[in-house]
Amino acid sequence: MNRSIVETIIGGLVLLVAVSFGFYAFSNNSTGSAGGYEVVAEFDNASGLVSGTDVKIAGVKVGTVLSQELDKDTYFAVVTLRINEEIKLPKGTSARILTESLLGGSFVSLEPGGDDAYIEAGGLIDDTQGAVNLMDLLGRFVFSSADSE
């Protein structure tokens, strides 16, 4: 009888810890509706970007990708970024889509501009460079070296 009570108490404690951990993990989720402001960037190629992709400055995460859609007039990918509210982006900021590693995974890299004025919420980052296809790059390198022989 004594052993059954101890097992029940331990089981209850394990369950309490698991529920507490789950609550903590969901309440501190940084991809939720955290504060910040939205800016838009238009890319000719937004391959590899999905909602939740990191936005970084100098390798440090400063925001996330919220959404992307196709502009039916220009055929550019219109990407909405949520930037942390403590980060102010100067006008002239540029955005590039870079690859995390050879195994894939992309992120948006921002290079702050030199202007004294800042991009307002809902503003546009117009200096952009889309994703580079590594297979195309490798193919060009291989075929260009074969042509030179």
- Note whether 52 and 76 are same-domain residues: yes
Residue 32 confidence (pLDDT): 47
56 contacts: CB under 8 Å, gap ≥ 6: 62, 107, 108, 109, 110
- For residue range 75-110, what is the model confidence (pLDDT) as tens digits? 999 999 999 999 999 999 999 999 887 777 899 999
Residues 124 and 53 in one domain: yes
SS3 13: helix
- 146 part of a folded domain: no
Q: How many residues does the chain have?
A: 149
Q: State residue 60's pLDDT score.
A: 96
- In which domain, by residue range, is 6 found? 1-30
The per-residue pLDDT for 85 is 94
Per-residue pLDDT, 31 = 47
| Separation between Cα atoms, residue 65 and residue 39, nearest integer Å | 10
What pLDDT, on the 0 to 100 scale, is given for residue 128?
93
Structure tokens at 98: 């870079």
Same domain, 103 and 135: yes
21: burial class by Cβ within 10 Å (0-12, 13-18, 19+)? exposed
Low-confidence ranges of the chain (pLDDT < 70): 1, 25-34, 145-149
Residue 15 lies in a domain: yes
| 104 and 64 belong to one structural domain | yes
Sequence-separated (6 or more) residues with CB below 8 Å from residue 70: 76, 77, 78
| Phi, psi (deg, nearest 5) at residue 63 | 175, -170
Q: In this structure, are 76 and 96 located in the same domain?
A: yes
Shared domain for 12 and 67, answered yes or no, is: no
